[in-house]
């Protein structure tokens, strides 16, 4: 110590460095508040970011922030959405350092400039379990296939979410089939979430604000599906000024406009996306040159601020897909055709009124009308036909929310849904030989009452307890087929047809659906959560293809088709490390599914008036472990997740014909035991963002032949017929893929006065061009030496370039 | 009750590839090999046409390319009908093949197949021989296609269609076949060096090459579910390519089959055409109509088919084709004709004049 003091006196420079070295053992506190410069109100959730250490914190609800740092000089960036970011140099000395900041409104820059991807403390503090929220900014950073930012595909990066393969529609959440996800876009359910049969999802990135996937501890206000709730929330239109955004991509181009009609009162957002990809087919093989595939979607949202306390929003959505296949029919309809046209459309409207009685006490009323329709048509005059199907959905819901009590935050509500399903309506053309068929329309009502309370039992223990009672009525007019008792249900076993008049109740189902989530805080950065939920599903998608066609048949529960009931328990450990820089979580779940649905071998679903002969019901079980680690701040951000998940079904009917795999447990189509996802975003500067995305998963089950025989038929030569016995006993090869994307944004200070901001996104899907298997199939051809083949859907590298703009 | 059928046509396989057809690819895959420990495959047919009728009984092969299927020998095979007649089938030289000697199928009768083999008894469900209405019309239309090398459009060949009138009652199921006969003047060749035919020997009389449908797209099926009582029109039978400027003789066969046979053929067709595509139905067991009486758990594959059959001849006129793509005819040996070769009856060649042939 003496030497040290000696040096201080003698060598000034050396003295300075050593002084720091001597003091580096201790950290000092930097604290203060962030307030709104205009109103003087404290600002919660404002970001305070230390540029040197790449560390950031958010202010609490009193606008207070706290850092521990080593003494020295630091550059701070203080930011909040809609405010001009503040850059400040701060010199930290021993002891307490108090620095407060004031942020000024900025209507010019509404862009989120924070590096933080979410609210990291929610990982530990929120009571809900099994919920993931992605805002559109983080979805946009995931390298996209063909440059199309895809909400559904981004969910595949989350633990517990899988799919049967690339280019298919829908997701499988914790062992649920694709129809077990309630997908809501501003409260309107979507019955098909993909464009072009599954290549792209229907959500327009310019209109989406954020996406929440609930796969455990599902809130009581949601019901009607057995596996998960995906809540897609659209942006509120900018009520202060006109802005626009859009993009030009390889597949589709977009334009969104938003702004006030009456400033601060009435505003609207209109987002349009359309594909222009027909030219790609002209580059393809001759047989595809007549193919036409086009889609567009329109999202429109209105916001009307009636008063300080009440607001009204309207969301309208229209999506349209058309696909023409040349030369022959791909239809499921048995007529001869030279080409066929597929079309499907979603249209929906949501009206939502919210009234705040007093602080934290609100009433909400929502009305939804939605219609999904699909058709296949064949133009050939003698066989011309149009096969239509559709589902009409209407929902009215009211909800009362009271969050005024510190300890009890409480909500209750009621909802009524009406379903009208047109299974299949075959309309012949004017000169057609085809006979008209119109399957009976299905009418049903699903109503529910729900109540939920978030109870802060102690500072360490919180409980969200909910209860939902749902009732389902299948209504007439309906014809119910009666089958010979003791015989397998088949068209030949019909004994009589019982008719019900319009409005008459054909069948009633119902039940309580308890929901529970418990959080026990071990310390501010660690908590244990537990969840239980029961979900009853009355509406089912019946399909026997690997990926459901857009024309696949929806059916309500009926006399024979029982509702699917899922019971799930989950428990998890949530821990944040290094001052919320890292979020980690581990969850295990076990789910039992009653009356799980699978199709009968060789059964016809299209145009089948007795659907119950094509469908089998049994039980399912799913269990798994989901682990995730996430880094929120720094030059590098991202996450890694690993999932071990299994899903099995057992269909053991009374008759051998009504069993699958002789009544034994078998893995579901989407059973993929191991999944590893990694996503990394590197942001070295304001103008450049580099993202990597790696995914690995076990191959899905497949049905492989046990043998074969040569067809003995005098007119056919050399056809080998494979012999299949049990379903899903093999497994296709593992899946893995790396994607990359780089985004170049314009520097915000380069042309501060120019409104137009452009950015380029270059992405590569499947960087190392791995030929991932979609399926393995057996086909012995006389001229080939192989017996099995692997089909890869995206079997090569896909580069793409997109230009995005804002003004 | 009607059956509401649905099957997928071959284009189904392209759906889903659509947009990225260039990127999707199919590669051979080394798969696990299974061996079925039990089970036999029975295939054969009784019809209203003159016999002999054949029944083929084999043990299935493994699913490997090199898997072999063995005929079941020394089985006792007989067919009974609902009028108490019984005919024992005679084992042929070809292993696993059994043939009738006098049986003639009669429309309206029910036939049942019985097998005693390898210590077990098998029987089919009784199947009725259904009446068959004649083919209304066979016709062809030329079509255009792209030439793969140049990408230019040109005449691709002819599509042969059938129109047929469906009877008024529902529940009729159809299957169509074709066989092509080609008059040939090459009954033997002189190979120089061996394996490389250089000269031909003409046939000693009329001789026809028999061309059969090859590969997975040979099963054409229809039901009258959506057409009942009207005309099933534009049923595609086959494509005839552009070759020599000649007339192609086809025999088109229309079968009236049972619902079980229709389901069997539909599933078979799906299995043969399965390409693992996004919208392919998952592979399933093909249901048959034969069961093992002694061991009900034993799986029996195949089908005993009883069908009403009608045939019609058709000539596709290729003389006016836009171009010719005729394989060269081998020259006669130098020094003139030195003799002729007989037309040897086989699966591929016959000296018997086809039923509808006109000289």
pLDDT of the residue at A781: 67
Find residues 132-161 of chain A whose CB sits inside 8 Å of chain B: none
Distance, CA of B107 to CA of B54 (rounded, Å): 18
Which residues in A lie closer than 8 A to residue B218 (C-beta atoms)? 715-716, 719
Q: Which of A105-114, A231-240, A291-300, A521-530 has the lowest mean pLDDT?
A: A105-114
What is the DSSP track for B127-151?
EE----PPP-EEEEEEEEEE-TTT-
Distance, CA of A46 to CA of A713 (rounded, Å): 77
Which residues in A lie closer than 8 A to residue B14 (C-beta atoms)? 287-288, 325, 330
Which residues in A lie closer than 8 A to residue B277 (C-beta atoms)? 546, 775, 791
Q: Is the Cβ of A356 closer than 8 Å to some Cβ of chain B?
A: no
Q: Is the Cβ of A608 closer than 8 Å to some Cβ of chain B?
A: yes
The answer to whether A197 contacts B36, with C-beta atoms less than 8 Å apart, is: no
Out of A327, A437, A602, the one facing B11 most closely (by C-beta) is: A327
Residues B191 and B198: beta-carbon distance below 8 Å: yes
Distance, CA of B298 to CA of B284 (rounded, Å): 17
Mean pLDDT of chain A: 85
Residues B120-126, mean pLDDT to the nearest whole number: 93
Distance between A501 CA and the closest CA of chain B, angstroms: 23
| First-to-last C-alpha distance (Å) of chain B | 48
The answer to whether A426 contacts B226, with C-beta atoms less than 8 Å apart, is: yes
Out of A293, A434, A776, the one facing B276 most closely (by C-beta) is: A776
Distance, CA of A533 to CA of B274 (rounded, Å): 40
Tokens of B321: 């084709």
Q: Is the Cβ of A543 closer than 8 Å to some Cβ of chain B?
A: no
What is residue A124's three-state secondary structure? helix
Residues A668 and A618: beta-carbon distance below 8 Å: no
Tokens of B306: 């009883």
Buried b or exposed e, range B165-199, using 16+ CB within 10 angstroms: bbeeebbbbbbbbbbbbeebebbbeeeeeeeeeeb
Q: Which of A42, A103, A53 is nearest to A78 (CA)?
A: A103
Confidence of residue B35 (pLDDT cuts 50, 70, 90): low
The answer to whether B177 contacts A711, with C-beta atoms less than 8 Å apart, is: no
Distance between B338 CA and the closest CA of chain A, angstroms: 35
**pLDDT per residue as tens digits for the range A431-484:** 777 778 888 999 999 999 999 999 999 989 999 999 999 999 999 889 999 988
The answer to whether A707 contacts B61, with C-beta atoms less than 8 Å apart, is: yes
Q: Tell me how many residue pairs between chain A and chain B have CB atoms under 8 A apart.
A: 326
pLDDT of the residue at A786: 67
pLDDT of the residue at A11: 36
pLDDT of the residue at A519: 93
Q: How far is CA A274 from CA A116, A141, B91, in A?
A: 32, 22, 67
Q: Is the Cβ of A383 closer than 8 Å to some Cβ of chain B?
A: yes
- The Cβ of residue A671 has, within 10 Å, a number of other Cβ atoms equal to 21
Residue B291 per-residue DSSP state: E
In A338-477, DSSP assigns E strands to 340-358, 361-378, 385-402, 408-428, 437-438, 442-456, 461-475
**pLDDT per residue as tens digits for the range B210-265:** 988 886 778 888 888 777 888 888 888 888 888 888 888 999 999 999 988 988 89
Tokens of A54: 């790449």
Confidence of residue B14 (pLDDT cuts 50, 70, 90): very low
Tokens of A130: 């099994």
In chain A, the residue whose alpha carbon lies closest to the alpha carbon of B304 is A712
In chain A, the residue whose alpha carbon lies closest to the alpha carbon of B42 is A712
Distance, CA of B52 to CA of B43 (rounded, Å): 15
Q: Which of A120, A7, A166, A122 is nearest to A798 (CA)?
A: A166
Q: What is the pTM of this model?
A: 0.80
Q: Which of B183, B240, B162 is nearest to B358 (CA)?
A: B183
Phi, psi angles (nearest 5°) of residue A670: -110, 25
Q: Which of A715, A732, A734, A786 to mutate to test the interface with B (most CBs of B within 10 A)?
A: A715
**pLDDT per residue as tens digits for the range A559-612:** 999 999 999 999 999 999 888 889 999 999 999 999 999 988 877 788 888 899
In chain B, the residue whose alpha carbon lies closest to the alpha carbon of A426 is B226
In chain B, the residue whose alpha carbon lies closest to the alpha carbon of A789 is B28
Which residues in A lie closer than 8 A to residue B39 (C-beta atoms)? 707, 723
Residues B267 and B280: beta-carbon distance below 8 Å: no
The answer to whether A723 contacts B286, with C-beta atoms less than 8 Å apart, is: yes
Q: Please give the angle made by the CA atoms of A438, B166 and B286, to the nearest 5 degrees.
A: 75
Distance, CA of B224 to CA of B256 (rounded, Å): 11
Residues A534-555, mean pLDDT to the nearest whole number: 88
Find residues 587-606 of chain A whose CB sits inside 8 Å of chain B: 601-602, 604-606
What is residue A18's three-state secondary structure? helix
- A84 burial type by CB count under 10 A (0-12 exposed, 13-18 middle, 19+ buried): middle
Whether residue B85 is predicted with pLDDT greater than 60 in this model: the reply is yes
Tokens of A120: 């990291």
Out of A196, A669, A706, the one facing B19 most closely (by C-beta) is: A196
The residue count for chain A? 807
In chain B, the residue whose alpha carbon lies closest to the alpha carbon of A550 is B279
Out of A715, A720, A793, the one facing B212 most closely (by C-beta) is: A715
Distance, CA of A46 to CA of A103 (rounded, Å): 9
Confidence of residue A690 (pLDDT cuts 50, 70, 90): very high
Distance between A179 CA and the closest CA of chain B, angstroms: 17
Distance, CA of B127 to CA of B81 (rounded, Å): 9
Phi, psi angles (nearest 5°) of residue A639: -150, 160
Q: Which of A712, A728, A731, A797 to mutate to test the interface with B (most CBs of B within 10 A)?
A: A712
């Amino acid at each position: 110590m003496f030497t040290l003091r000696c040096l201080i006196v003698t060598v000034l420079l050396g003295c300075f460095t050593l002084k720091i070295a001597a003091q580096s053992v201790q950290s000092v506190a930097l604290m203060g508040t962030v307030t709104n410069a205009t109103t003087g109100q404290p600002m919660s959730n404002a970001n305070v970011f230390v540029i040197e250490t790449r560390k950031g914190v958010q202010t609490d609800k009193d606008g207070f922030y706290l850092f521990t740092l080593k003494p020295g000089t630091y550059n701070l960036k203080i930011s909040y959405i809609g405010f001009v970011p503040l850059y400040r140099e701060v010199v930290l000395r021993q002891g307490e350092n108090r620095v407060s900041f004031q942020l000024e409104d900025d209507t010019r820059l509404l862009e989120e400039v924070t590096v933080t991807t979410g609210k990291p403390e929610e990982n530990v503090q929120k009571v809900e379990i099994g919920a993931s929220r992605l805002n559109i900014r983080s979805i946009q950073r995931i390298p996209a296939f063909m440059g199309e930012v895809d909400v559904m595909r981004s969910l595949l990066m989350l633990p517990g979410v899988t799919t049967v393969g690339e280019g298919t529609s829908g997701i499988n959440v914790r062992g649920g089939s694709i129809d077990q996800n309630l997908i809501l876009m501003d409260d309107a359910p979507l019955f098909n979430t993909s464009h072009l049969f599954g290549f792209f999802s229907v959500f327009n990135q310019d209109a989406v604000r954020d996406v929440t996937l609930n796969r455990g501890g599902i809130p009581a206000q949601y019901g009607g599906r057995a596996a998960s709730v995906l809540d897609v929330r659209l942006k509120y239109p900018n009520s202060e000024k006109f802005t626009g955004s859009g993009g030009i991509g390889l597949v589709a181009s977009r334009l969104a406009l938003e702004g006030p009609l009456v400033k601060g009162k009435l505003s609207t957002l209109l987002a349009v996306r359309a594909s222009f990809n027909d030219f790609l087919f002209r580059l393809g093989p001759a047989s595809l040159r007549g193919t036409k595939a086009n889609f567009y979607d329109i999202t429109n949202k209105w916001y009307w601020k009636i008063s300080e306390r009440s607001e009204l929003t309207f969301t309208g959505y229209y999506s349209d897909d058309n696909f023409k296949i040349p030369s022959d029919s791909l239809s499921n309809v048995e007529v001869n055709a030279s080409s066929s046209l597929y079309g499907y459309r979603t249209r929906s409207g949501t009206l939502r009124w919210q009234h705040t009685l007093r602080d934290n006490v609100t009433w909400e009323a929502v009305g939804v009308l939605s219609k999904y329709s699909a058709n296949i048509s064949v133009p050939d005059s003698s066989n011309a036909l149009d096969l239509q199907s559709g589902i009409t959905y209407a929902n009215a819901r009211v909800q009362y929310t009271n969050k005024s009590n510190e300890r009890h935050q409480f909500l209750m509500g009621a909802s009524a849904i009406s379903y009208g399903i047109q299974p299949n309506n075959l309309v012949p053309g004017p000169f057609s030989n085809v006979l008209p068929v119109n399957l009976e329309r299905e009418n049903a009502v699903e109503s529910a009452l729900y109540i939920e309370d978030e109870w802060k039992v102690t500072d360490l223990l919180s409980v969200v307890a909910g209860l939902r009672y749902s009732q389902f009525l299948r209504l007439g007019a309906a014809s119910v087929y009666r089958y010979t008792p003791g015989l397998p249900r088949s068209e030949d076993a019909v004994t009589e047809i019982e008719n019900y008049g319009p409005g008459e109740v054909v069948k009633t189902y119902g039940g309580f659906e308890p929901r529970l989530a418990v959080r026990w805080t071990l310390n501010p950065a660690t908590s244990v959560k537990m969840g239980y939920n029961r979900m009853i599903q009355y509406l089912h998608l019946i399909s026997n293809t690997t990926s459901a066609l857009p024309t696949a048949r929806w059916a309500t529960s009926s006399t024979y088709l029982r509702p699917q009931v899922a019971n799930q328990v989950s428990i998890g450990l949530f821990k944040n490390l290094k001052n919320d820089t890292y979020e980690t979580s581990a969850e295990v779940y076990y789910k039992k599914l009653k009356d799980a649905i699978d199709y009968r071998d060789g059964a016809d679903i299209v145009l089948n008036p007795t659907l119950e002969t094509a469908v089998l019901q049994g039980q399912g079980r799913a269990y798994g472990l989901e682990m995730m680690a996430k880094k929120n701040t720094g030059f590098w951000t991202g996450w890694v997740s690993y999932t071990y998940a299994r899903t099995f079904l057992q269909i053991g009917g009374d008759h051998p014909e009504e069993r699958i795999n002789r009544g034994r447990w078998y893995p579901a189509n989407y059973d993929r035991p191991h999944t590893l996802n990694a996503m990394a975003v590197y942001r070295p500067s304001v103008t450049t963002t580099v993202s990597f995305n790696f995914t690995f998963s076990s191959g899905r089950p497949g049905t492989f032949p046990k043998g074969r025989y040569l067809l003995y038929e005098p007119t056919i030569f050399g056809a080998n017929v494979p012999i299949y016995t049990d379903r899903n006993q093999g497994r296709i090869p593992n899946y893995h893929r790396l994607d990359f994307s780089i985004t170049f944004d314009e520097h915000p200070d380069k042309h501060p006065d120019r409104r137009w901001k452009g950015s380029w996104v270059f992405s590569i899907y499947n960087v190392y061009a791995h030929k991932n298997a979609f399926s393995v199939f057996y086909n012995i051809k006389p001229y080939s030496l192989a017996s099995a083949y692997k089909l890869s859907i995206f079997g090569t590298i896909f580069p793409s370039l997109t230009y995005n703009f804002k003004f | 009750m009607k059956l509401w059928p649905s099957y997928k046509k071959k284009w189904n396989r392209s759906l889903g590839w659509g947009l990225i057809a260039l990127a999707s690819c199919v590669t051979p895959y080394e798969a696990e090999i299974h061996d079925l420990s039990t089970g036999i495959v029975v295939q054969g047919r009784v019809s209203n046409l003159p016999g002999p009728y054949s029944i083929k009984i084999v043990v299935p092969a493994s699913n490997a390319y090199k898997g072999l299927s063995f005929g079941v020998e020394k089985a006792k095979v007989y067919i009974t009908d609902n009028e108490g007649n019984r005919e024992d089938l005679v084992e042929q030289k070809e292993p696993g093949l059994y043939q009738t000697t006098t049986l003639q199928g009669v429309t309206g009768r029910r036939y049942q197949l019985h097998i005693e083999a390898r210590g077990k008894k098998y029987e089919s469900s009784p199947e009725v021989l259904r009446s068959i209405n004649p083919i209304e019309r066979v016709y062809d239309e030329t079509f255009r296609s792209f030439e793969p090398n140049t990408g230019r459009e040109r005449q691709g060949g002819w599509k042969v269609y059938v129109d047929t009138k469906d009877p008024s009652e529902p529940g009729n199921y159809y299957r169509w076949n074709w066989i092509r006969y080609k008059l040939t003047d090459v009954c033997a060749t002189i190979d120089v060096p061996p394996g490389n035919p250089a000269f031909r020997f003409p046939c000693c009389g009329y001789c026809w090459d028999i061309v059969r449908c090859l590969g997975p797209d040979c099963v054409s099926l229809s039901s009258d579910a959506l057409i009942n009582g009207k005309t099933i029109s534009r049923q595609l039978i086959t494509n005839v390519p552009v070759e020599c400027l000649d007339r192609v003789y086809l025999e088109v066969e229309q079968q009236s089959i049972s619902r079980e046979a229709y389901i069997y053929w539909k599933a078979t067709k799906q299995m043969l055409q399965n390409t693992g595509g996004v919208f392919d139905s998952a592979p399933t067991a093909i249901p048959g109509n034969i069961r093992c009486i002694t061991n009900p758990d034993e799986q029996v594959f195949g089908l005993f088919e009883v069908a009403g059959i009608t045939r019609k001849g058709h000539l596709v006129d290729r003389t006016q084709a836009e171009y010719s793509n005729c394989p060269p005819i081998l020259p006669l040996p130098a020094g003139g004709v030195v003799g002729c070769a007989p037309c040897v009856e086989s699966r591929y060649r016959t000296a018997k004049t086809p039923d509808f042939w006109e000289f």
